[in-house]
Structure 1
Amino acid sequence: MKNTLFPVFLKTDSAHFLIVGGGNVGLEKTETLLRQNPDIKIRIVATYFHANLTEIGKKHSNITFLERPFEEQDLIGVDYVIIATDKPEVNLAIRELAKSKGIKVNAADQPALCDFYLGSIVNKGSLKIAISTNGKSPVLARRLREYFTEVIPDNIEESIEVLNTFRSQHKGDFQEKLSDLNKATASFQKNNEPKKYKRLAFTLASSFLMFFIGYGCSTLVTFSDIQNGLSLIPNEFYYMLLIGFVAQLIDGAVGLGYGVTCATSMMILGVKLPAISGSIHTAEMFSSAISGFSHYKFGNVNKRLLFWLASFGVVGAVLGAFFLVYLGNEYENFAYLVLSSYTFVIGVRLLVIAFKKIQMKKKIKFLGVLGFTGGFMDAFGGGGWGPIVTSTLLAKGRKSKYVVGTVSLAEFFITLAASIVFFTSLGVSHWYIVLGLILGGVIASPIAAKLAGRLPQKAALLFVSFLVIVFSVRVFLKII
């Protein structure tokens, strides 16, 4: 398919936008327009307005609110229409009316109805870059925006001003001016050459090092030695490899479920309870560190929320780990019963989340209690930090960007604290479980990254909840 889009930059000083829909999508579209021009003229028609949208309206007299259903007269004097309702039949009807009047339309998440897209935009002074994926992947466009925002220097405006002055004062003809400007900006391209050289040098050096180590090992370890070594690996390692692979696929598609998927699967295989939680937290500690750092780097972390969740979560995780070590050794059947009941409840909670609509933003009370509960049950049950903490914050109307970022970074501290307790109490006797989970997750990571965002959130949550509930019931029946 050819990409026939032609990018243009609109002067919005005299443009009049109509937004139909006042929910989360309407809020996002309004914020997008205001970021480019705080004085842009916007009319919003909806039967419901998001609380944040109402707050924005109080600060901008150029925004008009009409709390009622859309009417044809709303199109009078409008240059562009943005449809942000969740009713496809309404969207189509508005689009047809607007088209009949020669008005350009953008319909959220319905590329077929769009005459134009609101791409991700990089703003650096006078420099503005618009990114579009032809309506196919807004997530990728947002990631590219974050990348370019980071790599383009903040002082680019100074370079632009210097080049503008040079251009305006140049006395030559067009060809001479173009030639001199090309020479002046040639350094931008040359700056990349050292990076390319360093990358090539690193690749060659790494390749030689791997060859050198491989050749050296081949003179010390024979093929038969490798075969004998593989025969000593417990069969459980390969089961853990598969469990880690599947759990990472699910987590990549849904954004949660790694812990409970591993825990319920390992309970069916009869793995000792402390080893279950200890292995999961050790394997998850690496991924949560990378994920949490990435979110912090991109500004997705609420520091106040992080403090309350992490500090109380660590206390809960330590107590939950000690409790499991004692309970798992002394009362194994009872512990299995408690854990299977817990994972069953988590599965039901995921089922509820799948059908629950996002609520308006509400004040969250007892953040410390939430962090403590999530940390305790995560350490005791081998998973559940995401289903408990993330789902609660989202249900309170918090933005998913800051919820996922903050919870991911806090999870690193929770998994670290739990892992320290398990290692000091149990040692490293379950190394093959940890290694299997890590390797399985590493193999699945590229595939999981491609699945992210492609599977509908509702369908993915239903799948995970069904899997967890079935596994939990199987463990429960096995015990009784």
Structure 2
Amino acid sequence: MEGNHLFPVFIKLNTIHTLLIGAGPIGLEKLNALLSNSPDARVTVVATQVLEEVKLLALGFPNVQVLERAFDPQDLKTAGLVIAATNNQALNEQVRQAASAQKILVNFADKPALCDFYLGSVVKKGDLKIAISTNGKSPTIAKRLKETLNAGLPDELNITLQQMQELRNKLEGDFTSKVKKLNKVTSVLMEDQKQSASRLSLKWLVWTTIVLSIAVVVAVFWHKEPAFQSFLVNLNPVFYWFLLGGFVFAMIDGAIGMSYGVTSTSFSLAMGIPPASASMAVHLSEILSNGIAGWMHYRMGNVNWKLFKLLIIPGILGAVTGAYLLSSLEHYSQYTKPLVSLYTLILGGVILSKAYNVNRRRTNGKIKKISLLGLFGGFIDAVGGGGWGSIVLSSLIAGGRNARFSLGTVKITRFFIASMSSLTFITMLNGAHWEAVAGLVIGSALAAPIAARVSNKISVKTIMVAVGIIVILVSLRSILSFILKMI
């Protein structure tokens, strides 16, 4: 018969003696797993070489003993459970035979065929504990499921458990009546299931709107800009610089969830493009790239639809207002350009400072004024050619929101923000630098599906430091150029 035939159990490690053989990196990992799940566990660690981290960890737990010597079959006399964290095949075989002789269950790290039991990935929310098993086939899948459940299950679930215990203790009547009362109380937990149909309709509406918006933008290009058609025939070499830039900036944005706008705008200004045209080029390129990235995050389940509804309308209003204001001042570009460069300089400093705070623990409550954040972020994003990710995403994460769901939601809302900003710019401006637009559009679109996949595989801090420094240097160059011209 196929399938997982393992029998799941939860063991009281404080009532039995656990023998851990091996005290290297794997041994440290196993000891951490034991003590994090059962701080009162009685554990004896036996190894010829013991990491200092293992010794330091053991000092904090009075029931943990570390013996720096070779394994002796006599160690099994008082053991109720054995975990072998060693890559010594001869030693593993010795432990296997000795444990079998004394009918003691044993686990071998990364040796599924030798194991009597597996140590699965564990999700813990107070008194709630969920163990995940893949039948020894893929620890990586178990780890990913653990991350998903940790992110998806609210910490407040433990409060629900405590309240349910209190309710159960107060219930009166026979078993049947108690079950009926508990079923009535817990029916609220199924509300999300009942709303799934309406959520599904919302998602289909969103993606239908994406397709229609792209069609509208393309139609506007064709009828509004004859220069766009001639551009396709006479390709400017600058296009290739923006193609490369769009790809690189989109990869950075996919890795850290921000900085595409600020890096693209800084680059565009450095290439001599006026602020409004630069912002237009950036937002036009973001329509396709964020549509693709948003779709990828949706497929990976990274979109918080409640957060989406709070951000989308205020974000669009702010973006349209900002795009209208910047377009109206396009003929003063020689003055607005250094101001926008100053803005990107400040954003570069913000990105650089966040690089050193990215791993700090968030202790404050969740940010509440989501709509105001969306309005402000949309306006600044349109005026400065970027900032939606830097402002909105960083604020959501700093306010205690889940990083992965915040990233996915910001990406999909960014599609609509970019679409409405672009339509405003096209309506207001008389022309566009199509070599910049086309290069950023194609480059960012090529990078979007790749960036969404690798967003959790790149050192966020390293990329943020590099981006911050580059943006600061490019912005300073633009500001200094303006000052020298004035002199």
What is the CA–CA distance in structure 1 between the aligned matches of 2:242 and 2:347, rounded to whole Å?
A: 22
Query: How far off is 1:426 after superposition?
Result: 2.4
Q: Which residue of 2 aligns with 1:305?
A: 307
Q: 1:13 aligns with which of 9, 15, 33?
A: 9
Q: 2:387 aligns with which of 384, 388, 402?
A: 384
Percentage of matched positions with identical amino acids: 32
Q: 2:316 aligns with which of 314, 321, 332?
A: 314
Q: Which residue of 1 aligns with 2:463?
A: 460
Query: How far off is 1:300 after superposition?
Result: 2.7
Q: Which residue of 1 aligns with 2:253?
A: 251
Q: Which residue of 2 aligns with 1:232?
A: 234
What is the CA–CA distance in structure 1 between the aligned matches of 2:291 and 2:364, rounded to whole Å?
A: 29
Query: How far off is 1:273 after superposition?
Result: 1.5
Q: Which residue of 2 aligns with 1:393?
A: 396
Matched-pair contact (CA < 8 Å) for 1:120–1:132: no
Q: Tell me the alpha carbon deviations over residues 31-69 of structure 1, each in whole angstroms, 9 at most, x when there is no partner.
A: xxxxxxxxxxx9875xxxxxxxxxxxxxxxxx88x7xxx
Matched residue of 2:302: which SS?
Answer: coil
Question: Alignment length, in residue pairs?
Answer: 322
Q: Tell me the alpha carbon deviations over residues 397-418 of structure 1, each in whole angstroms, 9 at most, x when there is no partner.
A: 2111221122112111111110
Q: Which residue of 2 aligns with 1:34?
A: none
Q: Which residue of 2 aligns with 1:76?
A: 42
Question: Structure 1 length normalisation: TM-score?
Answer: 0.57
Query: How far off is 1:346 after superposition?
Result: 1.1
Q: Which residue of 1 aligns with 2:413?
A: 410
Q: Which residue of 1 aligns with 2:268?
A: 266
Matched-pair contact (CA < 8 Å) for 1:16–1:78: no
Q: Which residue of 2 aligns with 1:203?
A: none
Q: 1:315 to 1:119 in 2, by over 3 A?
A: same
CA RMSD of aligned residues (A): 4.1
What is the CA–CA distance in structure 2 between the aligned matches of 1:368 and 1:105, rounded to whole Å?
A: 54
Matched-pair contact (CA < 8 Å) for 2:396–2:406: yes
Matched-pair contact (CA < 8 Å) for 1:120–1:142: no
Equivalent position amino acid for 1:234 in 2: N
Q: Tell me the alpha carbon deviations over residues 223-264 of structure 1, each in whole angstroms, 9 at most, x when there is no partner.
A: xxxxx9988222321221122122123223333221111110
What is the CA–CA distance in structure 1 between the aligned matches of 2:312 and 2:292, rounded to whole Å?
A: 16
Q: Tell me the alpha carbon deviations over residues 293-341 of structure 1, each in whole angstroms, 9 at most, x when there is no partner.
A: 33334443223321221111111100110111012x2322321122111
Matched-pair contact (CA < 8 Å) for 2:362–2:400: yes
Q: Which residue of 2 aligns with 1:353?
A: 354
Q: 1:132 to 1:347 in 2, by over 3 A?
A: farther
Q: Which residue of 2 aligns with 1:429?
A: 432
Q: 1:103 to 1:262 in 2, by over 3 A?
A: farther
Q: 1:469 to 1:416 in 2, by over 3 A?
A: same
Whether 1:344 aligns to 2:310 is no
Q: Which residue of 1 aligns with 2:279?
A: 277
Question: Structure 2 length normalisation: TM-score?
Answer: 0.57
Equivalent position amino acid for 2:249 in 1: A
Q: Which residue of 1 aligns with 2:374?
A: 371
Matched-pair contact (CA < 8 Å) for 1:282–1:434: yes
What is the CA–CA distance in structure 2 between the aligned matches of 1:285 and 1:317, rounded to whole Å?
A: 14
Q: Tell me the alpha carbon deviations over residues 139-175 of structure 1, each in whole angstroms, 9 at most, x when there is no partner.
A: 69989xxxxxxxxxxxxxxxxxxxxxxxxxxxxxxxx
What is the CA–CA distance in structure 2 between the aligned matches of 1:235 and 1:478, rounded to whole Å?
A: 24
State which structure, 1 or 2, has the greater radius of gyration over its C-alpha atoms.
2
Q: 1:343 to 1:358 in 2, by over 3 A?
A: farther
Matched-pair contact (CA < 8 Å) for 2:374–2:392: yes
Q: 1:295 aligns with which of 297, 318, 337?
A: 297
